[in-house]
Amino acid sequence: MTDFLDNWGLILITFLPLVGALVMMVVPKEAEDTHKALAIVASGAALVITILLLANFDYDDAGTLQFLVDKEWIPLINSGFILGLDGISLPLVAMTALVVPLVAIYSWNHIPEPGNPKAFMALILILETGMIGSFVAQDLILFFVFFEVVLLPMYFMIGVWGGPERKYASIKFFLYTLFGSALMIVAFLSLYFLSAEQTFDMRVLTELGGLDIARTTQILIFGGMFMGFGIKVPMFPFHTWLPDAHTQAPTQGSVILAAVLLKLGTYGFVRIALPFLPEGAQWWAPIIGVLAVIGIIYGALGCLAQSDMKRLIAFSSVAHMGFVMLGIATLTDFGINAAMFGMVAHGLITGMLFFIAGSIKDRYHTLEIKRLGGLLISAPRLGWILGFSSMASLGLPGLAGFWGEFPAILSAYQPAPMLNEALFRTLMVIAALGTVLAAGYLLWLYQRTAFGTPSEEFADDPEITDVSTIEWISWAPMLVLIVVLGFLPSLIFDVTNPAATVVVAAATGS
């Protein structure tokens, strides 16, 4: 069993969803329930194997890659089919493997217009393959391939099942990320040609740690990666695709986008950019830090000005990812750990918020904040869940969000030795101000949607029902995890810490 997992575990979780999608291809389009069931089964199987992997993971050795798969792939350019799991990948893989089945379950009776579950569910499964693949790939080319695989299904998801402005949003999303990818691949290639050993193997590149690459070159290459990953995160000022994409995407798309897709960018920073190009990272760190903090404040202010609930949540993503990036920019163990935690917490919490927004939209057919109100009366449980998620999102201690924010703020007090302490301390104070604003916009949202009495328009609307069974099933795991992670942060920190120290050591050259 262990042997089997060692050799096949990662391949299975990566490609099982794809197999599921292929099977769906041969099932006729009319068998809608079969498609949904297939999708749940395929992603569920991946989840089960992920859980087995988690059970067999050696947590004491979380800093090294486990379940390694190392096959020859494109020998011509020294690119191998290398998959591996370590403390940085693990939480993200686990979260992806969890979120996708939940989304599939949620889709059981929430297929957005214009229907066609076959295509819709297939796209979700392909997405899962791309996302998990990106997180476990240990070869730059392989990573890039998976990274791009994610792009197309999401494009179609927004473009076909999205809201009224879907075309604009989907093209914007597509072009933006593609632009980033282009610079990223250039960075990868130059890394390949300039590094001491011409290889795409991440293990080797980490070990080399930018050896033989001149400082200026490192800065340039890092710049390319910065664009590629920064757009995905998204960092200010490359974030403008996000509100549009989120607002227009169907609920499932938003959830996956918020929960997993954004993490590809931050993951890229931690996994690739920092350890491969230490000097580049040190040069860029203050810039990243400043942009991250601008993002925090700017995202929060943006939230305050929104009238659409989904758009507000989308802007809050900008702010939250700002904390993640601030943590990364400090190049400290606390910072990287906070970033890793922040990624998972943001995935769960914002994913949850988008679920709720989707369900509110299903009931009210609008997300305009000023038309909502009295949710706690019309649908009390939904209102409670919204309140709970808002509290988690504003970083309430005892819930998951806090452990992404506070350590990030803490780490900025004392960044890595080569960074400017005064700058980062200023950033710390401003970031702390961001937590106030976060409380402001989330509570303000909550007050206007949930408190008060329902407007006449929706007072006796029979469509406004409380949380349905399907919704409970798909939400409960996330809600439980938000609490559990809030009280037992060690569940994640235990795993990420060994790996984060490796990254920090590589990035600061200590």
Partner 1 sequence: MWFLTHTWILPALMALSFVLILLFGKRLPRKGSEIGVVAVAICFALSLVTAGSWWNHINSDHSESEHAAGETLGTGSAVAAEHLEEPDPAAFDDVQDGCSRVVDEGAVGEHTEEAGHSEGSDEEHSLALTPGENASGTAPPAAGASQAEEGEGHATTKPVVRCAQWFPMGLEGSTTITVGTMVDGQSVFMLFVVSIISLLVHIYSTDYVNGDRRYTHYFAFLSLFTASMLFFVLSQSTIQMIVGWELVGVCSFALIGHWWEEKPNSDAALKAFLTNRVGDMGLLIGMTVLYFAADRSFSILDINIMAAEGEISHGLLLLASCCLIAAVMSKSGQFILHTWLPDAMAGPTPVSALIHAATMVVAGIYLVARLYPVFFEGLSIAGSSVNLLAVVGATTAMFGAFLAFVQKDVKKVLAYSTVSQLGFMVTALGVGAWTAAMFHLFTHAMFKACLFLGAGSMSHACHHSFNMVDDYGGLRKIMPRTFWTFIIATGALAGIFPLSGFWSKDEILAGTGSFVGAEGANGTYHVMLAMLVIGAFGTAAYMTRAIWYCFFGEYRGHGEPHESGPRITIPLIVLASLGAVVGFLNLPKEIGPISFPESLHTQFEQFVEPVGRYFPEISHASFNIPLALFSLAVAGLGVLLPYLYYWKGGLAPLRNLSERNALARVGKTVLVNKYYFDWLYTDVITGFVKGPLARAANWFNAHVLDAIVNGVGKGAVLTGRFVYDNIDQEVVDGAVNAAGTTASETGGVLRHLQSGRIQQYAALFFAATALLAGVFVVAAG
Q: Which is nearer to partner 1, 121 or 313 (CB)?
A: 313
Q: Which is nearer to partner 1, 115 or 237 (CB)?
A: 237
> Torsions phi, psi of 85, nearest 5?
-130, 125
Question: Contact with partner 1 (CB under 8 A): which of 7, 198, 453, 465?
Answer: 453
The number of residues making up the chain comes to: 510
Please check whether residue 184 is in contact with residue 229, taking contact to mean a CB–CB distance below 8 angstroms.
Answer: yes
Residue whose entry in the numeric block shows the structure tokens 């350019």? 77
Question: Contact with partner 1 (CB under 8 A): which of 6, 15, 78, 440?
Answer: 440
- Partnered with residue 137 across adjacent β-strands are 83
Q: Determine the straight-line distance between the first and last CA of the chain, rounded to whole angstroms.
A: 39
Q: Does residue 479 interact with partner 1 by CB under 8 A?
A: no
> Torsions phi, psi of 81, nearest 5?
-90, 90
Q: Which is nearer to partner 1, 280 or 489 (CB)?
A: 489
Q: Is the peptide bond before 380 cis (omega within 30 degrees of 0)?
A: no
**List of residues 6+ apart from 101 with CB closer than 8 A:** 40, 43, 44, 46, 47
Task: Name the segment binding partner 1 (CB under 8 A); options: 10-18, 38-46, 167-175, 199-207.
Answer: 167-175
Q: Which is nearer to partner 1, 48 or 410 (CB)?
A: 410
The site for partner 1, by CB under 8 A, has a size of: 56
Q: Does residue 170 interact with partner 1 by CB under 8 A?
A: no
Residue 96 CA to residue 263 CA, distance in Å, equals 10
Q: Does residue 439 interact with partner 1 by CB under 8 A?
A: yes
Which positions from 259 to 298 touch partner 1 by CB under 8 A, shown as an x/- string? ---------------------------------------x
Residue 291 CA to residue 423 CA, distance in Å, equals 12
Tokens of 81: 């089919």
Distances (CA, A) of 212 to 30, 203, 270, 276: 59, 16, 21, 11
CB of 286 to partner 1, least distance (A): 19
* Strand, helix or coil for residue 49: helix
Q: Does residue 429 interact with partner 1 by CB under 8 A?
A: yes
Question: Contact with partner 1 (CB under 8 A): which of 406, 424, 458, 475?
Answer: 406
Q: Does residue 312 interact with partner 1 by CB under 8 A?
A: no
- 342-401: contacts with partner 1 (CB under 8 A): 374, 376-377, 391, 396-398
CB of 397 to partner 1, least distance (A): 4
Q: Is the peptide bond before 114 cis (omega within 30 degrees of 0)?
A: yes
Q: Does residue 172 interact with partner 1 by CB under 8 A?
A: yes
> Torsions phi, psi of 137, nearest 5?
-65, 135
Q: Does residue 417 interact with partner 1 by CB under 8 A?
A: no
Question: Contact with partner 1 (CB under 8 A): which of 414, 418, 423, 466?
Answer: 414
Residue 318 CA to residue 234 CA, distance in Å, equals 7
Question: Contact with partner 1 (CB under 8 A): which of 493, 499, 503, 507?
Answer: 493
- Alpha-helix residue ranges (DSSP H) falling in 305-420: 309-330, 333-364, 375-378, 380-393, 400-413
Q: Which is nearer to partner 1, 305 or 476 (CB)?
A: 305
CB of 46 to partner 1, least distance (A): 28
Q: Does residue 423 interact with partner 1 by CB under 8 A?
A: no
CB of 210 to partner 1, least distance (A): 21
CB of 179 to partner 1, least distance (A): 9
Q: Which is nearer to partner 1, 119 or 344 (CB)?
A: 344
Residue 238 CA to residue 232 CA, distance in Å, equals 8
Which positions from 79 to 98 touch partner 1 by CB under 8 A, shown as an x/- string? --------------------
CB of 387 to partner 1, least distance (A): 8
Residue 231 CA to residue 151 CA, distance in Å, equals 13
CB of 432 to partner 1, least distance (A): 4
Please check whether residue 37 is in contact with residue 31, taking contact to mean a CB–CB distance below 8 angstroms.
Answer: no
> Torsions phi, psi of 249, nearest 5?
-65, 150
Q: Which amino acid is at 75?
A: P
Residue 296 CA to residue 323 CA, distance in Å, equals 7
Which positions from 181 to 210 touch partner 1 by CB under 8 A, shown as an x/- string? ------------------------------
What is the SS3 assignment for 389-425?
A: HHHHHCCCCCCHHHHHHHHHHHHHHCCCCCCCHHHHH
Q: Which is nearer to partner 1, 192 or 388 (CB)?
A: 388
Question: Contact with partner 1 (CB under 8 A): which of 269, 276, 284, 402?
Answer: 402
Question: Contact with partner 1 (CB under 8 A): which of 214, 436, 473, 484?
Answer: 436
Chain residues binding partner 1 by CB under 8 A are 171-172, 175-176, 237, 239-241, 243, 298, 301-306, 333-334, 337, 374, 376-377, 391, 396-398, 402, 406-407, 409-410, 413-414, 428-429, 432-433, 435-437, 439-440, 443-444, 447, 450-453, 489-490, 493-494, 497, 501, 505
